[in-house]
């Protein structure tokens, strides 16, 4: 998934860095960051550094690829949830709540019993990063972490034509990652600020299905994109639908204010009305 800031828009400035095994990008309209000693670019650098600190801090705690992380110590049985940090216990509580809400389609426990919160932490990191940008007084921005996007404000603020303008996000074709399959308008005057994609075209090693993704007849989903008001909801439900198949797709569409674009293993597309209206 790519915001148009990464598709050649000259009106936007971006900064990128690597974290959590993916690329994170921050895009802001040119001139949207003011009042810093380093000028606009200095302000953008400071904003990107704030986002990077959020990701780095959470990765240090929750990454199972870091032997010294709290998550790794839990996985090895060197500590317990009772002894864990408040941050760890809070995110575990969030994951348990989502498991109940999705009737098990979303789970933070791997098949081998290891607690793995990666299915919720990236969305939480994006959410916290957005809070950090707002605390810095930056109102117009787009955050993209490995295909999960959260926006605020407008890509064209401060002009009459930009009032209510949306950020445009593109969704890649899972069979050809160089091709955009669909687009979706985020932010602006709309209620959907977040878009997340799960499946084989993105990192999917945290998805453990209650149904097989290779169901007979291609009934399972190769890729699912969800647009929602917040990034955690979008991220968790995209994962849950890939894992839970058609029953979870129906449950999510009925139970949450979301839009869904799903690609079956057969290549067939399923889209809710909002995605059908937004497809490019």
Indicate the SS3 state at residue 109: strand
Which residue is it, tokens 């999705």?
102
How many angstroms separate the CA atoms of 26 and 266, rounded?
35
Amino acid 199: pLDDT: 86
Amino acid 216: pLDDT: 45
Q: Are 260 and 248 in contact (CB under 8 A)?
A: no
Q: Are 272 and 262 in contact (CB under 8 A)?
A: no
DSSP-derived pairing of the beta strands 221-228 and 259-264: antiparallel
Q: Are 225 and 260 in contact (CB under 8 A)?
A: yes
Q: How far from chain centre, in Å, is Cα 208? A: 18
Radius of gyration of the chain (CA): 19
Amino acid 40: pLDDT: 54
Domains of the chain from N-terminus onward: 2-153+167-278 (3.10.520.10)
Amino acid 156: pLDDT: 87
How many angstroms separate the CA atoms of 133 and 141, rounded?
8
Return per-residue pLDDT of the chain as tens, 280 residues.
444 434 334 488 999 999 999 999 999 998 777 644 445 577 899 999 999 999 999 999 999 999 999 999 999 999 999 999 999 999 999 999 999 999 999 999 988 889 999 999 999 999 999 999 999 999 999 999 998 999 999 998 865 555 568 899 999 899 888 888 899 999 987 889 999 999 855 554 555 555 544 444 456 899 999 999 999 999 999 999 999 999 999 999 999 999 999 999 999 999 999 886 665 4
How many angstroms separate the CA atoms of 192 and 96, rounded?
25
pTM of the predicted structure, to 2 decimals? 0.88
How many angstroms separate the CA atoms of 75 and 56, rounded?
20
- Name the DSSP letter for residue 122: H
């Amino acid at each position: 998934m790519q915001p148009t800031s990464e598709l050649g828009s000259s009106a936007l400035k971006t900064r990128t860095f690597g974290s959590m095994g993916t690329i994170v990008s921050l895009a802001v309209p040119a001139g949207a960051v003011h009042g810093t000693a380093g000028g606009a670019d200095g302000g953008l650098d400071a904003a990107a550094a704030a986002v990077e600190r959020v990701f780095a801090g959470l990765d240090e705690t929750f990454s199972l690829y870091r032997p010294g992380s709290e998550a790794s110590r839990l996985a090895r049985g060197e500590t317990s949830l009772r002894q864990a940090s408040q941050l760890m216990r809070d995110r575990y509580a969030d994951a348990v709540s989502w498991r109940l809400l999705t009737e098990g389609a979303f789970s933070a426990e791997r098949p081998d019993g290891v607690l793995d919160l990666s299915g919720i932490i990236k969305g939480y990191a994006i959410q916290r990063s957005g809070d950090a940008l707002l605390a810095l007084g930056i109102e117009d921005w787009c955050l993209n972490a490995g295909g999960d996007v959260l926006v605020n404000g407008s890509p064209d603020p401060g002009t009459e034509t930009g009032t209510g303008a949306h950020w445009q996000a593109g969704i890649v074709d899972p069979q050809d990652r160089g091709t955009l399959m669909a687009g979706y308008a985020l932010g602006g005057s709309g209620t959907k600020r977040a878009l997340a994609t799960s499946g084989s075209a993105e990192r999917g090693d945290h998805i453990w299905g209650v149904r097989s993704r290779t169901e007979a007849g291609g009934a399972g989903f190769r890729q699912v994109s969800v647009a929602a008001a917040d990034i955690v909801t979008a991220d968790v439900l995209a994962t849950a639908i890939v894992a839970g198949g058609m029953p979870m797709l129906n449950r999510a569409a009925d139970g949450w204010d979301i839009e869904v674009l799903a690609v079956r293993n057969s290549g067939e597309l399923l889209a809710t009305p909002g995605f059908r209206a937004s497809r490019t």
